[in-house]
Amino acid sequence: MDYSAQFRREATGELTLKPSPEAVALAAAYRKNPTPGRSWPAARVKEEAIARVAAAGGDSSCHQLVLSESALQFGQYRGKTFKWLLSNDVGYAAMVLAVHQREREDGDTTQSFIMGNKDALLRYAGLFPVMMAAISERRVREGHGTPAQEDQVLVGFGNFAAMSFKDLYEATDRDRKGFVKWVKRQSSRPGTKMELFQKYIRRRDAEMLPGSAPPVAASSSAPEEEPSDEALLAVVSHMDVSAAFSWMVLEAVS
């Protein structure tokens, strides 16, 4: 028995944000009959999760397994497990957890059954860096992301799609440095990953201006040859810059 979510992915390697057919059907049924269900305390949620793990032959002492089998106590997927949610609707999970993170950071210390359940869901999501990257991107796009969260956002296009903004920006090899230079020169459509990366590059570049960082000693070596446009175009031959990073705006019903 595995605690890992069965993430669905796009061709770029990023997580698929749109809901699975099963999730779409459940959400539609909920909208037709949004009967509020009862939310249970964390102790009962954990007890039921342990029972599910044991029934499936898993190790009920494994914290990650128990988290994965914990049931949602809110919203349109109430009663489904955390593992199910991350396997079937990453966009909804990212939206819920981006809001929850911000609420906690703003000082909300509420310990209701629902808030406690979201705390547990965030701990489960934290087991997967790629899921945390999706949450970070959600917050960045909403204008509430921290610099550290901007660092985590995945590039999402080109041959370096699976790299984070930070790792690609700070790369020192010729290909990656050339790619960053190429991105800086492009026109991008609003809402695309390229536009988001360009904003990140501008912020990082500004931090390197005189007065923001120690001066770099002059080198007596010959300057590095800048790659040609043809070489850079080859690097991004598989890029799809027209695809915006879509988000499902689904309300989390408490």
What torsion do the CA atoms of 43, 45, 47, 53 make, to the nearest 10 degrees? -150
Does a structural domain hold residue 38? yes
* Same domain? 130 vs 65: yes
Does a structural domain hold residue 149? no
Does a structural domain hold residue 254? no
* Same domain? 67 vs 129: yes
pLDDT at 212: 56
Q: What percent of the chain has pLDDT over 70?
A: 83
Last residue of a domain, one of 120, 144, 168: 144
The predicted-structure confidence for 32-84, as pLDDT tens digits, reads as follows 988 778 899 999 999 999 999 999 999 999 999 999 999 999 999 999 999 99
* Same domain? 170 vs 62: no
* Same domain? 50 vs 137: yes
* Same domain? 111 vs 63: yes
The tally of domains found in the chain comes to 2
* Same domain? 65 vs 117: yes
The CB density around residue 170, as the number of other CB atoms within 10 Å, is 13
Residue 240 has pLDDT above 80, yes or no: no
Q: What is the DSSP letter of 11?
A: T
Residue 156 has pLDDT above 70, yes or no: yes
Domain that holds residue 30: 21-144
Task: Name the residue with tokens 């912020």.
Answer: 203
Q: What percent of the chain has pLDDT over 90?
A: 65
Last residue of a domain, one of 144, 176, 194: 144
* Same domain? 127 vs 32: yes
DSSP lists the bridge partners of residue 99 as none
Task: Name the residue with tokens 């590095």.
Answer: 224
* Same domain? 29 vs 139: yes
* Same domain? 165 vs 54: no
* Same domain? 26 vs 102: yes
Token couple for 218:
């002059």
Q: Are 141 and 196 in contact (CB under 8 A)?
A: yes
Q: What is the DSSP letter of 159?
A: G
What would the mean pLDDT of 193-198 be, rounded to a whole number? 91
* Same domain? 33 vs 140: yes
